[in-house]
Structure 1
Amino acid sequence: MRGTSAASLREVVEAAEHTFRTADAPLEQTADELFSALEVIDGSNQLLRLLSDGGLPASVKQQAARELFGSRIGQAALSVVLDVVGRRWSEQEDVLDALERVGVVALLEQASRSGSLERVEEELFQVSRLIDATPELSEAFDDARERPAERAGVLGRLLSGRVDPITLSLATQAVARRSEAKPSRRVLELAEYASERRGRLLAVVTSARPLTEQQSARLGAILDRIYGRPVQMNVEVSSDVVGGLRIQVGDDLYDATVLSRLAQARERLAS
């Protein structure tokens, strides 16, 4: 998000975090209610247009949301919904993104309180890699593109009992949401956000062979110096990387692989 939406999202998240600190309801319940509200709004173009209309007074949109959700969700979730629809957004979809982000914040806050945030971050990364590495899973998601509940069910059955319940909730929400982004990318974005919540950046390091402890420590120190903050490294081994490393930190890509150098050489020869 940029501009107006970015400012609104920041304010919504700050207000929600204050609400979560004093809420009586379990944060997992609040997150579920926010995701449910998102699904209802996303399922009606007319409702989405109404609640995101910047030309309407905030009170009109909030009253519509209160009538729709007041008896269906708890006070903490309702407070967030009213705050979201009462603000200005650049795009209709930004309302949905904001509701989802606050639901994610609720789950990550609960993970932080229970001491499982690091585990959730690592599991989300592994789930993202699992989706990419399993053609049958990616195909199942593509086939069920217009059936979000089915996509969530596929991943839920695969992960149930194998990961932290908060990881399961986050991952299934990521794949269930209608989005142009690949399911694996959506899950990875949540891993990156979890890392940010821990005050760290997430680096995806791809190598032709496992790194030694000394190599990992040296690379970690380099990345820490570059970004001026701790960087959480997740290392994966791929035969596509023939010598060198490929390092992804957010939008930054450091590609020093032999294949990359050969590709660059071919481009120079062809030009």
Structure 2
Amino acid sequence: MRGETSRISDRVSRDSLAPELRNAGEDTWRIGNELFSFTNLLDHNVRIERALTEPSRSAEDKVALLRSLIGDQAHPVTMTILSDLASRQWSRVRDVANGVEDFGVDAMMYYADATGTTLQVSIELAELHSALLGLSVVRSRLYDESVPAQARIDLLHSLLNGKNFNKVTMRLAEHATCNPRKRRYLATIQWMINKFSRHMGESMITVTTAVALTTEQVDKLVTFYTNKLGRAVHINSVVDPSVIGGMRVQVGDEVTDNTVVAQLHKLQRAVKASA
């Protein structure tokens, strides 16, 4: 968890620069990619992190360091964001990389806004999360940093073979794969889903069933969870015949699994325990 100083620095920086980032339009695709690349650079170069967070070092020196690292190749908004983050105080050295990553995801959200695909990306991230829930071995490989990054990305692409995901969804999924940042894969995807939900002003509820939900069932779920959570919700209906029957509902990090297959697994464990 971030210290209070880091949380304040991250929030103030993102709030103050949000209009400039939003106004960059479709350039936010480039900005987001540049910020993800710089996040990766910081994660693998603690000396640079320390140089950019050293309280006794002037803001001018830090900006000069940034320019020496990225030259004139980066988008001006990317440089503005990095300069702003470098000028702030951080509780821990590694928190500056968290701030850069936060901006990277924000940039991808604004790109989705600019291309009219924000809800689509949010739904696709939820579908990816749901698809991986029962694949613990695959998940562990996706964030195993002992496996080369390209091999992990190839595994992700093979897993999503035939899925025509939006390019923002794919880029976010690839970022989570090639730079795990010491997080479990599903934790990173859930963090991104939560960010998109807050961005849209509603919560994403993923409901997995063996057959498609009817309109009436979706409406009842919307009413129930809107009343329960006290805010607007979107129901992401995922059809997975392997669950056989029943319903699995995911709200944020909380999963309630009342599917037939889950009950069968529970029964099997009980039988083995009593044998």
TM-score (norm 1): 0.80
Q: 2:53 & 2:250 partners in 1: Cα distance?
A: 34
Please say if residues 171 and 187 of structure 1, whose CA atoms lie closer than 8 Å, have aligned partners that are also in contact.
Answer: yes
Aligned pair 1:65/2:69, yes or no? no
| Match in the other structure for 2:273 | none
Q: 1:17 & 1:138 partners in 2: Cα distance?
A: 33
Q: Identify the match of residue 252 of structure 2 among 250, 253, 257.
A: 250
1:173, distance to aligned residue in structure 2 (A): 0.7
1:137, distance to aligned residue in structure 2 (A): 3.2
Q: 1:69 & 1:15 partners in 2: Cα distance?
A: 23
| Match in the other structure for 2:54 | 53
Identity %: 25
Q: 2:93 & 2:224 partners in 1: Cα distance?
A: 41
| Match in the other structure for 1:85 | 86
Name the SS for the 2:91 alignment partner.
coil
RMSD over aligned CA atoms reads: 3.3
| Match in the other structure for 2:152 | 151
| Match in the other structure for 2:173 | 171
- Report the CA distance shift for 1:5/1:115 in structure 2 as closer, same or farther (over 3 A): same
1:5, distance to aligned residue in structure 2 (A): 1.7
1:201, distance to aligned residue in structure 2 (A): 1.0
Please say if residues 128 and 185 of structure 1, whose CA atoms lie closer than 8 Å, have aligned partners that are also in contact.
Answer: no
Look up the equivalent residue of 2:63 and give its one-letter code: Q
Q: What is the count of residue pairs matched by the alignment?
A: 261
- Report the CA distance shift for 1:159/1:251 in structure 2 as closer, same or farther (over 3 A): closer
Look up the equivalent residue of 1:99 and give its one-letter code: V
1:63-212 alignment, distance < 5 Å: 63-134=64-135, 137-141=138-142, 143-145=144-146, 147-156=148-157, 159=160, 162-205=164-207, 211-212=213-214
Q: 1:210 & 1:145 partners in 2: Cα distance?
A: 39
Q: 1:238 & 1:57 partners in 2: Cα distance?
A: 59
Please say if residues 175 and 186 of structure 1, whose CA atoms lie closer than 8 Å, have aligned partners that are also in contact.
Answer: no
List runs of 5+ in structure 1 lacking aligned partners: 267-271
Please say if residues 25 and 114 of structure 2, whose CA atoms lie closer than 8 Å, have aligned partners that are also in contact.
Answer: no
1:233-248 alignment, distance < 5 Å: 233-236=235-238, 247-248=249-250
Look up the equivalent residue of 2:87 and give its one-letter code: G
| Match in the other structure for 2:21 | 20
Deviates more, 1:155-164 or 1:198-207: 155-164
Q: 1:91 & 1:98 partners in 2: Cα distance?
A: 12
Name the SS for the 2:164 alignment partner.
coil
Q: Identify the match of residue 233 of structure 2 among 228, 231, 234.
A: 231
- Report the CA distance shift for 1:9/1:156 in structure 2 as closer, same or farther (over 3 A): farther
1:116, distance to aligned residue in structure 2 (A): 1.0
| Match in the other structure for 1:29 | 30
Name the SS for the 2:180 alignment partner.
coil
Look up the equivalent residue of 1:178 and give its one-letter code: P
1:233, distance to aligned residue in structure 2 (A): 2.3
Q: 1:253 & 1:187 partners in 2: Cα distance?
A: 15
Look up the equivalent residue of 1:75 and give its one-letter code: P
1:220, distance to aligned residue in structure 2 (A): 1.3
- Please give the per-residue CA displacement for 1:60-84, whole angstroms capped at 9, x wherever unaligned: 3333222222333121111111111
Q: 2:115 & 2:26 partners in 1: Cα distance?
A: 16
Name the SS for the 1:185 alignment partner.
helix
List runs of 5+ in structure 2 lacking aligned partners: 271-275
Look up the equivalent residue of 2:33 and give its one-letter code: D
1:130, distance to aligned residue in structure 2 (A): 2.8
TM-score (norm 2): 0.79
Please say if residues 146 and 178 of structure 1, whose CA atoms lie closer than 8 Å, have aligned partners that are also in contact.
Answer: no
- Report the CA distance shift for 1:256/1:89 in structure 2 as closer, same or farther (over 3 A): farther
Deviates more, 1:1-10 or 1:112-121: 1-10
Please say if residues 50 and 61 of structure 1, whose CA atoms lie closer than 8 Å, have aligned partners that are also in contact.
Answer: yes
Look up the equivalent residue of 1:200 and give its one-letter code: E
